[in-house]
């Protein structure tokens, strides 16, 4: 059974940092693109970024709104995806989802999703 | 790439045929996915590559289109289909989602 479990959310002050983790199981993690998608309270979905798979040398891509502040990494030995969030802003407040992408880039962001973890940026 | 969904909301009854449009600001070939999201839940993939039904998704859902204009159709709306629907383009980075279409009970 495919499972994605996010952790690491919480309350952080503006300008602070937070690291989210996503623990994956039930599939060959290194084969898949992995995405982060967020949803601000009462708003729509926003793609945050992705890690390419092993075949694509783990290339990362980011939304313009987080580029230069957020870093996506993965550890295939631990079947884990990470989102390092720096210089956080109040507008980064959202539920953050980890999602399993396809085996190739341009298919989908997530055929499986985690339950989401809430990040609140507030003083 | 901007994705514009229309309508932003609609009211429908069980058994209705529902059509949701998604227009891209430039051509994206067939690199479009559709998701369904219910309140408090993670999105669920319905369709990818514009018209390929994800495994386990009921056949009343279908997708069509290429280039800039795409459509998600629910042939006969069921009670469990009341939700918000999002399109997503995967042809260009950064990937983008449409603003969503909320399907409500009439």
- Does residue B2 register a pLDDT over 90? yes
Backbone angles phi, psi at B37, to 5 degrees: -135, 130
- Does residue A105 register a pLDDT over 90? no
Confidence of residue A97 (pLDDT cuts 50, 70, 90): very high
CB contact under 8 Å between A45 and B31, yes or no, is no
Cβ-based neighbours of B30, under 8 Å, separated by 6 or more = B49, B50, B51, B65, B66
pLDDT at A109: 87
In chain B, which residues have their Cβ closer than 8 Å to the Cβ of A106? Answer: 31, 90-91
Q: What is the pLDDT of residues B34-73, one digit of tens each?
A: 999 999 999 999 999 999 999 999 999 999 999 999 999 9
Mean pLDDT of all residues in A106-122: 94
Confidence of residue A37 (pLDDT cuts 50, 70, 90): very high
Confidence of residue A47 (pLDDT cuts 50, 70, 90): very high
In chain A, which residues have their Cβ closer than 8 Å to the Cβ of B90? Answer: 105-109
Mean pLDDT of all residues in A109-119: 96
**Token couple for B82:** 């009341």
Q: What ranges in chain B are assigned the alpha helix state H?
A: none
Our CA dihedral for A107, B33, A110, B80, rounded to 10 degrees, sits at: -150
Q: Helix (H) and strand (E) counts for chain A?
A: 0, 11
Provide the b/e sequence for A38-66 (b: ≥16 CB within 10 Å): bbeeeeebbbbbbbbbeeeebeebbbeeb
CB contact under 8 Å between A107 and B90, yes or no, is yes
CB contact under 8 Å between A106 and B90, yes or no, is yes
Are the beta carbons of B87 and B33 closer than 8 angstroms? yes
CB contact under 8 Å between A50 and B54, yes or no, is no
CB contact under 8 Å between A37 and B96, yes or no, is no
pLDDT at A107: 87
Mean pLDDT of all residues in A30-53: 97
Percent of chain A predicted with pLDDT > 90: 91
- Does residue A104 register a pLDDT over 90? no
Q: Which of A106, A111, A112, A116 to mutate to test the interface with B (most CBs of B within 10 A)?
A: A106
pLDDT at A7: 97
Cβ-based neighbours of A100, under 8 Å, separated by 6 or more = A2, A4, A24, A27, A32, A33, A34, A35, A110, A111, A112, A113
Q: What is the pLDDT of residues A74-93, one digit of tens each?
A: 999 999 999 999 999 999 99
Chain A positions contacting chain B at CB under 8 Å are 35, 37, 44-47, 49-50, 61-64, 97, 99, 102, 105-111, 113-116
Percent of chain B predicted with pLDDT > 90: 98
Nearest CA in chain A to B99: A44
- Does residue B17 register a pLDDT over 90? yes
In chain A, which residues have their Cβ closer than 8 Å to the Cβ of B31? Answer: 106
Mean pLDDT of all residues in B25-42: 97
């Amino acid at each position: 059974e495919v499972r994605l479990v996010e952790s690491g959310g919480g309350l952080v002050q503006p300008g602070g940092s937070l690291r989210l983790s996503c623990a994956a199981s039930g599939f060959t993690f290194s084969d898949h693109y992995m995405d982060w998608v967020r949803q601000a309270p009462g708003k729509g979905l926003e793609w945050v970024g992705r890690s390419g798979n092993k075949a694509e040398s783990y290339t990362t891509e980011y939304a313009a709104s987080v580029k230069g502040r957020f870093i996506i990494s993965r550890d295939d030995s631990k079947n884990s995806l990470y989102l390092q969030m720096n210089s956080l802003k109040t507008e980064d407040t959202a539920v953050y989802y980890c999602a399993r992408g396809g085996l190739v880039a341009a298919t989908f962001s997530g055929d499986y999703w985690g339950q989401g973890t809430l990040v609140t940026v507030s003083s | 790439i901007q994705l514009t969904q229309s309508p932003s909301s609609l009211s429908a009854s069980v058994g209705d045929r529902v059509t949701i449009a998604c227009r891209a600001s430039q051509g994206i070939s067939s690199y479009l996915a559709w998701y369904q999201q219910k309140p408090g839940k993670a999105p669920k993939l319905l369709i990818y590559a514009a018209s390929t039904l994800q495994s386990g998704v009921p056949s009343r859902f279908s997708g069509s289109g290429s280039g800039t204009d795409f459509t998600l159709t629910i042939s006969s709306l069921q009670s469990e289909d009341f939700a918000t629907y999002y399109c997503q383009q995967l042809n260009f980075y950064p990937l983008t989602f449409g603003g969503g279409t909320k399907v409500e009970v009439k």
